[in-house]
Amino acid sequence: MHHETITTTHSALLWLIPAFPFLGMLINGLLGKKQSPGAAGILASGAMFLSFIVSAVVFFQLLGMHAEERSLTQTLYTWMHVGDFSANISFLIDPLSAVMILVVTGVGFLIHVYSIGYMKGDPGVVRYFTQLNLFAFFMLLLVMADNYLLMFVGWEGVGLCSYLLIGFWWDDMDKAIAGKKAFIVNRIGDFGFLLAMFLIFVAFGSLDFETVFARATGMPYGSGVVTAITLLLFLGACGKSAQLPLYVWLPDAMAGPTPVSALIHAATMVTAGVYMVARSNILYTLAPVSMAVVAGIGAATAIFAATIGLAQFDIKKVLAYSTVSQLGYMFLACGVGAFGAGIFHLMTHAFFKALLFMGSGSIIHAMHHYMEKTGSHDDPQDMRNMGGLRKHMPKTYWTFLLATLAIAGIPGFSGFFSKDEILWKAFSSGNIAVWVIGAIAAGLTAFYMFRLVYMTFFGEFKPAQSGEHPHESPSVMTVPLMILAVLSIIGGWVGIPHVLGGGNHIEHWFHPVFAGSEHISTLHQGHGIHSSGIEMTVMIVSVLIALAGIGIAYLFYIKKTDIPGKIVSAIGPLHKLVYNKYFVDEIYEAGVVTPIEKTSDFFLWRFFDVKIVDGMVNGAATVVDFIAGHLRKVQTGFVQNYALIMGAAVLVIVLVFVW
């Protein structure tokens, strides 16, 4: 794709998009404890709103341009120039990054506003908003970069901020460990990204997207170098976007404040890997092995995480595994060549998943206050302690229900259009096995999400005492929920498929970015299936599967609530396996963490530190002591000896000069 640099007023504004949250971070960070909590929240939210306004202006600027020329670039300065290598601080906005900046700033702004209510009274609130703005800054840097190196700066930045925010309440050891776990697991993926960058520079002589993709088209289809690059990049994506086997950090990320979960899981960090793969679409299309790996890992992650979600009782854990599963869907799309569908699902997922997390935060907030008032010590996040909340929290209930209908893929809601597009692309490209797994995962998603709704909002409130019950959250928290609820309904209407009488505008919008990879794919793999009848049939099947999931959840948790208990008894060991998340953390602990710790303890401490480092230090002292022991014998204390030595020395010097 040709990126034309257009010097207009709007292209000169690009730097403002990341600048506003950076400025908000700077002011709140420098003022520190002098800043009032209310002012910190308003300042941070205002910075995000200004960033969103500029993003919208840039988006409409692109919209007014000819489809093939939709690209704005702004180079601020040359960052480094060494020999053949150069890298700029340069921003690129095209149809792909335009959607990303709107999601990051728009949903990010709503999460900031919601946080004002949620974090009220927390002693670390100024630090919280400082870090939240820094998070947004790095994410914007990541999606706006026009080269891999600048993207990597943003990539590492969101990794740092995730560590700070997941471990926000660091005085709780479990939360501090969760932050550390996210940081370390992400380093494994980042190592892959780094190696990929080295290979890209060796192979193409540049890290700029435009140059790399233009030169890549001259590489042979299935090239070993391109395959190695894309697999290493995907290793980075597996870490950041929580795919098998590096997903383990994300469920633990629930340790952070709930708005952080919404930000990490919906609008920012976890979508970075999907964006990076979609941005590198030319490279991936040239590497069929890598495409198969991406599709396979995505499908496996989607079904694996969905099964774990069936058995969890912590409301945020259910949503966490749901996120892992939905990210698997996005990679599944990229792996079958449907990059546009993957990013479309990324966008709709940002709406309904942010709403689900913020809705769960509203519930936890209310439950926490209820338990403080009644002196209860029950877990405010355990769904078994809830029930009947729709009577007491109607705004939270209705918005949460709309988001659940969206994620379940009910026709008319945003999730239906993006999920259906992914399943159809998988089916029509001949990846039937991938489609079957995706369809089953969709049914499981509908089941566990409605299980959550029925356990939380229906029936009677479980721990009711002395007439007390949880109350609805304040408007500063419920208004963002309502805005996201509207987006959860209408957010997918830009992608209504042709078979339903729509124009699939989002596909046309992304076409200039993905045109090159579509051409390569058609050249080597053909056109795939194109039949309205088959597409409609596939759509009906996926809707029936989702409805079946909802129906079974209704039967289990409303009509005959004794059934789940009987099933658990009947499949005891299998339920234990799923409930304990397949013991993956325990396997990692026993097979990876403990051996590394023991090896480090022996080699780095007992051997290297004690024998080598201490040995060198002690050896140096012994040598000095030995030399000093012999030299001090020269110091006799007799003046005549000293005079004799001085005279001899003078004589030697004179002889040397004469000679």
**pLDDT, average across residues 402-412:** 95
Judge contact between 158 and 135, C-beta under 8 A.
Answer: yes
In sequence order, what DSSP letters do the residues of 506-559 get, joined into one string? HHHHHHHHHHHHHHHHHHHH------HHHHHHHHHHHHHHHHHHHHHHHIIIII
More confident residue, 328 or 464: 328
Query: Rounded distance, CA 383 to CA 400, Å?
Result: 15
Alpha carbon separation from 1 to 64, 167, 205 (Å, rounded): 19, 41, 18
Judge contact between 143 and 13, C-beta under 8 A.
Answer: no
pLDDT at 2: 40
Across 69-78, 79-88, 417-426, least confident range: 79-88
Assign 472 to helix, strand or coil: coil
> Would you say residue 644 has pLDDT above 90?
no
pLDDT at 397: 93
Residue 9 — pLDDT band, cuts 50, 70, 90? very low
pLDDT at 112: 95
**pLDDT, average across residues 441-454:** 95
pLDDT at 500: 87
Residue 465 — pLDDT band, cuts 50, 70, 90? low
Across 389-465, the runs of DSSP E, i.e. the strands, are none
Structure tokens belonging to residue 216: 């890549």
Three-state secondary structure of 124-154: CHHHHHHHHHHHHHHHHHHHHECEHHHHHHH
> Would you say residue 509 has pLDDT above 50?
yes
pLDDT at 645: 83
Task: Indicate the residue type of 2.
Answer: H
Please name the residues in contact with 312: beta carbons below 8 A apart, sequence gap of 6 or more: 318, 321, 579
Residue 283 — pLDDT band, cuts 50, 70, 90? very high
149-174 pLDDT tens trace: 999 999 999 999 999 999 998 888 98
As to burial, measured by CB atoms within 10 angstroms (0-12 exposed, 13-18 middle, 19+ buried), residue 84 is exposed
E strand or H helix at 93, and its extent? strand 85-93
pLDDT at 149: 95
25-81 pLDDT tens trace: 999 999 888 888 889 999 999 999 999 999 999 999 999 999 888 999 999 989 888
pLDDT at 52: 97
89 forms bridges with which residues in the sheet? 77
Residue 467 — pLDDT band, cuts 50, 70, 90? low
pLDDT at 527: 67
What's the mean pLDDT when you consider all of the chain? 89
**pLDDT, average across residues 277-282:** 96
The residue count for the chain: 659
**pLDDT, average across residues 314-336:** 94
90 forms bridges with which residues in the sheet? 75
> Would you say residue 6 has pLDDT above 50?
no
Please name the residues in contact with 438: beta carbons below 8 A apart, sequence gap of 6 or more: 299, 302, 329, 332, 422, 423, 426
Residue among 346, 306, 288, 371 nearest 506 (CA)? 346
Peptide bond preceding 245: is omega within 30 degrees of 0, i.e. cis?
Answer: yes
pLDDT at 317: 92
**pLDDT, average across residues 172-184:** 91
Instruction: Please state, as a whole number, how many other Cβ atoms lie within 10 Å of the Cβ of residue 394.
Output: 13
pLDDT at 605: 66
* Per-position b or e across 360-392, b if 16+ CB within 10 A of its CB: bbbbbbbbeebbeeeeeeeebbebebbbbbbeb
Please name the residues in contact with 81: beta carbons below 8 A apart, sequence gap of 6 or more: 87
Structure tokens belonging to residue 520: 């390569």
Task: Indicate the residue type of 184.
Answer: I
> Would you say residue 557 has pLDDT above 50?
yes
> Would you say residue 306 has pLDDT above 90?
yes
Assign 471 to helix, strand or coil: coil
Phi, psi of 82 (to 5 degrees): -130, 110
Query: Rounded distance, CA 596 to CA 589, Å?
Result: 10
More confident residue, 142 or 642: 142
Domain boundaries, the chain: 585-658
Please name the residues in contact with 23: beta carbons below 8 A apart, sequence gap of 6 or more: 47
The percentage of residues in the chain with a pLDDT greater than 70, rounded to a whole number, is 97
Please name the residues in contact with 128: beta carbons below 8 A apart, sequence gap of 6 or more: 115, 119, 122, 165, 168, 257
Structure tokens belonging to residue 324: 């892992």
pLDDT at 417: 94
Query: Rounded distance, CA 630 to CA 406, Å?
Result: 86
Question: Where do we find the tokens 């590198």?
Answer: 280
